[in-house]
Amino acid sequence: MTVIRRTLIVCAVGASLLASGLASAQDIKPRLIRFGYGLNEQSNQGRAAKVLADEIEKLSGGKMRLRAIGSAALGSDVQMQQALIGGAQEMMVGSTATLVGITKEMALWDTPFLLNNVQEADALLDGPVGDKVRAKLEEKGLIGLVYWENGFRNLTNSKQAVTKLEDLDGIKLRVMQNNVFLDSFKSLGANAVPLPFSELFSALETKAVDGQENPYNTILSSKFYEIQKYLTVTNHVYSPWIVLVSKKWWDGLSKDEKNVLLTAAKTSRDFERKDTRAEAAKALDELKGKGMLVNVLPAPEAARMRDKLTRVNAGIAANVGMDLWQETQTTLTKMRAKK
Separation CA 195–CA 226 (nearest Å): 19
CA distances, 152 to each of 55, 213, 241, 318 (Å):
27, 10, 12, 24
* Cβ atoms of 296 and 288 closer than 8 Å: no
Name the residue among 252, 250, 273, 270 with its Cα closest to residue 137.
250
Closer by beta carbon to ligand KDG, 59 or else 155:
155
Q: Does position 147 bind ligand KDG by CB under 6 A?
A: no
Rg (CA), the chain: 22
Closer by beta carbon to ligand KDG, 37 or else 249:
37
* Cβ atoms of 225 and 296 closer than 8 Å: no
Nearest distance in Å: CB 179, ligand KDG: 15
Among 81, 95, 246, 319, binds ligand KDG (CB under 6 A): 95
- The burial of 156, by beta-carbon neighbours within 10 Å (0-12 exposed, 13-18 middle, 19 or more buried), is given as buried
Nearest distance in Å: CB 39, ligand KDG: 6
Closer by beta carbon to ligand KDG, 60 or else 150:
150
Q: Which x/- pattern over 148-177 shows residues binding ligand KDG (rule: CB under 6 A)?
A: --x-------------------------x-
Separation CA 71–CA 333 (nearest Å): 39
* Cβ atoms of 96 and 106 closer than 8 Å: yes
Q: Does position 112 bind ligand KDG by CB under 6 A?
A: no
- Binders of ligand KDG in range 269-328 (CB under 6 A): none
For helices 322-337 and 128-135, give the axis angle rounded to 10 degrees. Answer: 160
Q: Which one of 16-24, 33-41, 270-278, 314-322 is the stretch in contact with ligand KDG (CB under 6 A)?
A: 33-41
Closer by beta carbon to ligand KDG, 78 or else 161:
78
Closer by beta carbon to ligand KDG, 260 or else 265:
265
Nearest distance in Å: CB 333, ligand KDG: 28
For helices 255-289 and 44-59, give the axis angle rounded to 10 degrees. Answer: 160
Nearest distance in Å: CB 23, ligand KDG: 38
What is the H or E stretch that residue 78 is in? helix 77-86
Q: Does position 77 bind ligand KDG by CB under 6 A?
A: yes
Among 31, 35, 39, 220, binds ligand KDG (CB under 6 A): 39
Which residues partner with 197 through β-bridges?
none
- Binders of ligand KDG in range 180-199 (CB under 6 A): 197
Q: Which x/- pattern over 236-255 shows residues binding ligand KDG (rule: CB under 6 A)?
A: ---x-x--------------
Binding site for ligand KDG (CB under 6 A): 37-39, 77, 94-95, 150, 176, 197, 214, 218, 239, 241
